[in-house]
Structure 1
């Protein structure tokens, strides 16, 4: 029998995920022979299928879908989708949503599917593994999928998994068993190790929504997104438009951002100077006339800021 690359000699710590990963590899992409006793493909109407609401991959390139639809009109759907039964004769797509969408565009009435009795947790892991095997997966979604697997590994929420990963990255000797679990998981997933994922992958989840969307829809390279996110947020929209319309290189994007920095420094300089010099002791050292003037200006500034912050319609 073909060796399952998610299996490890002996018991893998966190065995529940180990078994899920083993099954996911068997079920995704027909990499391994079908599990004994599980039914083969059968046809279901498109109307009986619904998308997975937990699917992090929300963007589907329309041009690519149209190309696939043209192919499906000629050849049909060659690779079955995987679905799990829900209530009222409906089935949730575990993987294959792109083929389902393209089949709708192609005007097909039904598609071949593999029906599997899966829990939501099993479906989530299988979907993650299947998507991570795809070369066209953008970095934002890739990080999201891997974080889901880490969360499943430790039985915690994805937000908690981020904190655990950062803690283990800083103090790997504190939890050697968890580190071993991570090393095994990421070795099987390939492409990067867990330490690199923490350093270079997790920052993708902190991208501002505007920039993250551009990464997800495939229009913005992730490395350029990281550069762009370092600029002040009020400039993101303008810089993003320049990157996309002018096809700026990394060097050109750095230059665009650098042009903003002198102006920003000039704006901040007077405030920084005042902040450094302003103190009760410094005021007490001033001659009486200058101290009174400074105190008056401070009171006026405090009142001005208070009025502005409380005024309606400023947003």
Structure 2
């Protein structure tokens, strides 16, 4: 059984309370139903996955193990679904159980039916998935980012920009910073500032590395290390990690051995990586002034 990865707090501000209030984040006053409600039974063929749900990968071996358990005991925890106009139902959460139930040969599954908007579905699905210990880091980041977007009333892309801006200049919007502190405090495990620094880079990983992380074959921290090497080496480094089972120390050594080649990386690419508000803010006043003058000169030359 998949365990809950967060502990609800006695004060009522934990993840359990966040799940109860998740609909309100989208502007809806509706609360989630009490867990004592009796589920209904629906044909499994009438259900369909939510294409926007955070969890993108289902381990075949784990799914088969769950199917065997369901074949013996049935589906113990009901799914949540919402009705669609064509008479079918979209899964809000419980897609893994639905897949396993079909593998086990079940024709019906227990469900809780809720009339929800797509936005409400996204919020509930994100919160529910974040409770799972087996959620990989990439899907965890996308789920949290989805909650941030809804909480701040912006798109996901705009949420990324907003988070980076608030990280560098928190005084520009203290109310939004406080909202982020509350949200991540309820989710637990990391602060919003750490999420910006250590989580958002997951969105920039190459597709091959993302797929390896989602499948559970590649540790997220190793994926970040590989991504920092020149792109032409990614495939080989990934192969070595998977085949040779390289440790973090081994991987760092392998990347360090590529250092002479790193110097051949185009200067423009090095500048793109090095020029940022955060890096410039760490310079002394004199060096920062010189850096801005050099950038102005470069801009004039390019014109």
Q: TM-score range by the shorter chain?
A: 0.7 to 0.9
Q: 2:54–2:129: 8 Å Cα contact kept in structure 1?
A: no
Compute the displacement of 1:4 (Å).
4.2
Q: 1:43 to 1:172 in 2, by over 3 A?
A: same
- Measured in 1, the distance between the counterparts of 2:40 and 2:23 equals 32
Q: 1:5–1:188: 8 Å Cα contact kept in structure 2?
A: yes
Q: Which residue of 2 aligns with 1:131?
A: 129
Cα displacement string for residues 229-258 of structure 1 (whole angstroms, at most 9, x for unaligned residues): 011111111110110011100010011111
Gapped regions of structure 2 (runs ≥ 5): 1-9, 16-21, 269-303
Q: 1:166–1:198: 8 Å Cα contact kept in structure 2?
A: yes
Q: 1:257 to 1:100 in 2, by over 3 A?
A: same
For residues 278-289 of structure 1, the aligned pairs below 5 Å read none
SS in 2 for 1:112: strand
Q: 2:26–2:119: 8 Å Cα contact kept in structure 1?
A: no
TM-score by length of 1: 0.75
- Match among 56, 59, 73 for residue 57 of structure 2: 59
Is structure 2 residue 3 aligned with structure 1 residue 5?
A: no
SS in 1 for 2:110: strand
TM-score by length of 2: 0.78
Cα displacement string for residues 186-236 of structure 1 (whole angstroms, at most 9, x for unaligned residues): 111111111111111101111111111111111100110110101111111
Q: 1:21–1:125: 8 Å Cα contact kept in structure 2?
A: no
- Match among 77, 88, 91 for residue 79 of structure 1: 77
Q: 1:253 to 1:114 in 2, by over 3 A?
A: same
- Measured in 1, the distance between the counterparts of 2:123 and 2:43 equals 25
- Match among 178, 191, 194 for residue 192 of structure 2: 194
SS in 2 for 1:131: helix
Cα displacement string for residues 254-288 of structure 1 (whole angstroms, at most 9, x for unaligned residues): 111112222444x579x99xxxxxxxxxxxxxxxx
Q: Which residue of 2 aligns with 1:155?
A: 153
Q: 1:6–1:18: 8 Å Cα contact kept in structure 2?
A: no
For residues 267-278 of structure 1, the aligned pairs below 5 Å read none
Q: Which residue of 2 aligns with 1:229?
A: 227
Q: 1:21 to 1:251 in 2, by over 3 A?
A: farther
Is structure 2 residue 140 aligned with structure 1 residue 142?
A: yes
- Match among 117, 120, 135 for residue 119 of structure 1: 117
- Measured in 2, the distance between the counterparts of 1:202 and 1:103 equals 35
For residues 10-29 of structure 1, the aligned pairs below 5 Å read 16-17=24-25, 23=31, 26=32
CA RMSD of aligned residues (A): 2.5
Gapped regions of structure 1 (runs ≥ 5): 8-13, 273-315
Compute the displacement of 1:33 (Å).
4.1
- Measured in 1, the distance between the counterparts of 2:216 and 2:140 equals 13
Q: 1:50 to 1:95 in 2, by over 3 A?
A: same
> Relative contact order (alpha carbons < 8 A, sep ≥ 6): 1 or 2 greater?
2
- Measured in 2, the distance between the counterparts of 1:22 and 1:52 equals 21
Q: Rg: which structure is higher?
A: 1
Cα displacement string for residues 83-132 of structure 1 (whole angstroms, at most 9, x for unaligned residues): 00002220000000000010111111011000011111111111010000
- Measured in 1, the distance between the counterparts of 2:167 and 2:177 equals 9
